[in-house]
């Protein structure tokens, strides 16, 4: 069990230990409040919120859920739509009107991920320093404006420029949302919330198909083709969402120290701040931004294992599926408009599976098993699809396989398990923000650029390169690294268990224990 899963009994034990030993009082806010005083306050609030069978705690969590999840999920829904709607626009004659070849279209899709990936860690660092109330309205309105301008594209060069700008402005939303959630929820609560949040991405596939189906009826209105209306309408909705962030998106919990909150009481806000800070016990990580923590994320092997898993097991198959699905469904024998509508059911199913896997991962604290189960489901779907697309009379089986592939890859990619596994095992906020940004940098650049180019139009409908690469990437680039990562964490936990804890505490100060973070023998990695 992870040390992040502190129970009431654990807290009582820690409190008794504190009463029998002398510790250094480490200043938190300019010497006004000590770590010891804060921890005592946390213990008192925890006991209060857990009283009466935890009813106050459940009410508190519901308040967080209703404020954070709808807001972030809707933003991610719009982010996913604005990134992937090019696949829908393609069916409405976008390439012919702009004068692009299918190869140029795929290259333009790929270029987005260079600016998207490169800006992810930078954006998370800016978010860590400025806070969500300032950073998110800015980036959301910026990419909404870029999306509306896509409706005015008239050439391949213009489309490339637009995609580069879109990648730059959208980069902060996804990793930033994961970091925001990790600042409000404990590691035991995180996978479920991340799954609900990421469900907005899979729902975007469903919603995008419905929107594209409706916008298809606007073809010719005011002399505009349907693809122009698609970019304009979705972009304007995104700008409105960015403005709404000013009213609905809260600050980080620790930013409310000298601010009032209208949606949480003073005790609830204190509890929100302290329960995350002291989730691993009385030696909290520093909340002061330090560049050395950013560098520590770059030196940590965990960052690179998770980066590889996110890259090959998540980004490649997920992006390739989202860009190719409308065309793939059309190749099964459906019209362009009907193919848009038929992309909706697989994404709805994927959303349900995504949330279910996230909940099970939290319920049993088994990140590795959850991620391997998801990989296996996605792999089965891709293999069935690879075989059946060769036979037109098996179109129904091929369509069913799309359900499995979409669900399996959606359930593990990015937020539900990868993000939760990262957050649970990196307690320092600055290092965690950097780790999430860095692992997604390579994942987005590599996964997005590869995923948008492996399902070649010239190979439709059998796509030997696309299916073959997806299978190989899942096994070699995701399942094997996940197993190695799990084994090394398990080995580290065994080494920590062999340490004499009493002697270690006696020879290290509270500051030293806090500075060690997850390397401390008192910390246990979540497996």
Instruction: Say yes or no to pLDDT of 423 above 80.
Output: yes
Beta carbons within 8 Å of 400's beta carbon, 6+ residues apart: 384
Q: What percent of the chain has pLDDT over 90?
A: 27
- Residue pLDDT, tens place only, 275-321: 998 888 788 888 788 889 989 999 999 999 998 888 888 778 877 77
Which residue has 């246990």 as its token pair?
Answer: 524
How many structural domains compose the chain? 1
Choose among 340, 143, 139, 149: nearest CA to 232.
Answer: 149
* Helix, strand, coil shares, percent, the chain, to 5: 80, 0, 20
The answer to whether 2 and 424 are in contact (CB under 8 A) is yes
- Residue pLDDT, tens place only, 465-485: 888 888 998 999 899 999 999
Domain membership of residue 405 (yes or no) is: yes
Instruction: Say yes or no to pLDDT of 103 above 70.
Output: yes
Say what the pLDDT of residue 508 is.
Answer: 85
Q: Compute the average pLDDT of residues 218-230.
A: 83
Q: Compute the average pLDDT of residues 175-198.
A: 88
Cis peptide leading into 461, omega within 30 of 0?
Answer: yes
Domain membership of residue 524 (yes or no) is: no
**Residue 411 binned pLDDT confidence (cut-offs 50, 70, 90):** confident
Domain membership of residue 187 (yes or no) is: yes
Domain membership of residue 332 (yes or no) is: yes
* Sign, CA torsion 332/335/336/341: negative
* Sign, CA torsion 469/470/474/477: positive
- Residue pLDDT, tens place only, 319-356: 777 667 766 776 776 666 566 667 778 878 888 888 88
Q: Report the chain's mean pLDDT, rounded to a whole number.
A: 82
Q: Compute the average pLDDT of residues 262-266.
A: 88
Say what the pLDDT of residue 350 is.
Answer: 83
The answer to whether 496 and 8 are in contact (CB under 8 A) is no
Instruction: Say yes or no to pLDDT of 178 above 80.
Output: yes
d(CA 50, CA 53): 6
Choose among 280, 283, 264: nearest CA to 423.
Answer: 280
Instruction: Say yes or no to pLDDT of 1 above 50.
Output: no
Say what the pLDDT of residue 132 is.
Answer: 93
Beta carbons within 8 Å of 246's beta carbon, 6+ residues apart: 133, 137
Domain membership of residue 77 (yes or no) is: yes
What are the φ/ψ torsions at residue 25 (nearest 5 degrees)? -85, 110
More confident residue, 34 or 156: 156
Beta carbons within 8 Å of 123's beta carbon, 6+ residues apart: 135, 139, 171, 172, 175, 176, 437
Beta-bridge partners for 327:
none
Beta carbons within 8 Å of 353's beta carbon, 6+ residues apart: 377, 407, 408, 410, 411
More confident residue, 340 or 407: 407
Say what the pLDDT of residue 21 is.
Answer: 39
Say what the pLDDT of residue 29 is.
Answer: 42
Is residue 310 helix, strand or coil? Answer: helix
**Residue 413 binned pLDDT confidence (cut-offs 50, 70, 90):** low
Say what the pLDDT of residue 126 is.
Answer: 92
CB atoms under 10 Å from CB of 265, counted, come to 12
Domain membership of residue 3 (yes or no) is: no
- Residue pLDDT, tens place only, 7-53: 444 444 444 444 333 333 343 444 445 778 888 898 999 899 988 77
What is the largest distance, in Å, between two alpha-carbon atoms of the chain? Answer: 79
Choose among 392, 380, 212, 413: nearest CA to 308.
Answer: 413
Say what the pLDDT of residue 285 is.
Answer: 82
Q: Compute the average pLDDT of residues 369-387.
A: 91
Domain membership of residue 417 (yes or no) is: yes
Domain membership of residue 527 (yes or no) is: no
Which range of residues forms the domain containing residue 365? 8-519
Beta strands in 171-278 (DSSP E): none
Among 50-54, 132-136, 197-201, 507-511, the minimum mean pLDDT is found in 197-201
Choose among 303, 247, 269: nearest CA to 431.
Answer: 303
CATH number of the domain where residue 96 is located: 1.20.1250.20
**Residue 490 binned pLDDT confidence (cut-offs 50, 70, 90):** very high
């Amino acid at each position: 069990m992870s040390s992040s899963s502190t129970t009431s009994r654990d807290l009582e034990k820690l409190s008794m230990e504190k009463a029998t030993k002398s510790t250094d009082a480490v200043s938190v806010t300019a010497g006004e409040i000590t770590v010891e005083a804060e921890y005592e306050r946390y213990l008192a609030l925890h006991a209060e919120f857990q009283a009466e069978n935890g009813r106050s705690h459940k009410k508190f969590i519901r308040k967080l859920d209703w404020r954070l999840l709808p807001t972030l999920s809707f933003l991610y829904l719009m982010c996913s739509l604005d990134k992937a709607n090019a696949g829908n626009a393609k069916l409405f004659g976008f390439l012919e009107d702009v004068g692009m070849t299918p190869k140029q279209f795929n290259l333009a899709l790929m270029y987005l991920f260079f600016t998207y990936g490169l800006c992810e860690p930078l954006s998370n660092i800016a978010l860590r320093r400025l806070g969500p109330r300032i950073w998110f309205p800015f980036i959301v309105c910026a990419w909404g404006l870029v999306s509306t301008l896509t409706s005015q594209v008239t050439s391949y060069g213009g489309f490339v420029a637009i995609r580069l700008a879109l990648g730059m402005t959208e980069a902060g939303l996804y990793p930033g949302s994961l970091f925001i959630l990790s600042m409000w929820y404990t590691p035991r609560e995180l996978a479920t919330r991340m799954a609900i949040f990421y469900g907005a991405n899979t729902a975007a596939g469903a919603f995008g198909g419905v929107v594209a189906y409706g916008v298809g009826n606007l073809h010719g209105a005011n002399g505009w083709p349907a693809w122009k209306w698609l970019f304009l309408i979705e972009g304007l909705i995104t700008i409105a969402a960015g403005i709404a962030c000013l009213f609905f998106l809260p600050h980080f919990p620790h930013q409310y120290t000298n601010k009032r909150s209208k949606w949480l009481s003073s005790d609830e806000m204190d509890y929100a701040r302290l329960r995350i800070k002291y989730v691993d016990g009385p030696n909290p990580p520093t909340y002061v931004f330090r560049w050395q923590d950013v560098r520590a994320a770059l030196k940590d092997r965990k960052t690179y294992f998770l980066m590889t898993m996110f890259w090959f097991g998540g980004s490649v198959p997920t992006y390739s599926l989202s860009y190719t699905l409308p065309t793939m469904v059309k190749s099964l024998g459906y019209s362009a408009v009907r193919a848009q509508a038929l992309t909706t059911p697989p994404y709805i199913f994927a959303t349900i599976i995504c949330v279910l896997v996230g909940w099970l991962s939290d319920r049993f604290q088994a990140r590795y098993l959850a991620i391997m189960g998801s990989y296996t489901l996605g792999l089965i779907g891709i293999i069935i699809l690879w075989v059946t697309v060769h036979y037109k009379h098996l179109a129904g089986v091929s369509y069913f396989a799309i359900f499995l592939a979409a669900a399996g890859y959606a359930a593990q990619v990015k937020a539900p398990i990868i993000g939760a596994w990262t957050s649970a095992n990196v307690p320092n906020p600055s290092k965690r923000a950097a780790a999430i940004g860095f692992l997604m940098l390579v994942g987005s650049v590599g996964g997005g650029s590869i995923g948008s180019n492996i399902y070649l139009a010239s190979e439709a409908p059998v796509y030997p390169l696309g299916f073959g690469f997806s299978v190989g990437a899942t096994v070699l680039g995701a399942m094997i690294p996940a197993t190695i990562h799990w084994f090394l964490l398990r080995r580290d936990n065994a080494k920590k268990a062999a340490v004499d804890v009493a002697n270690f505490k006696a020879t290290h100060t509270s500051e030293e224990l806090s500075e060690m973070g997850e390397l401390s023998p008192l910390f246990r990695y979540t497996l």
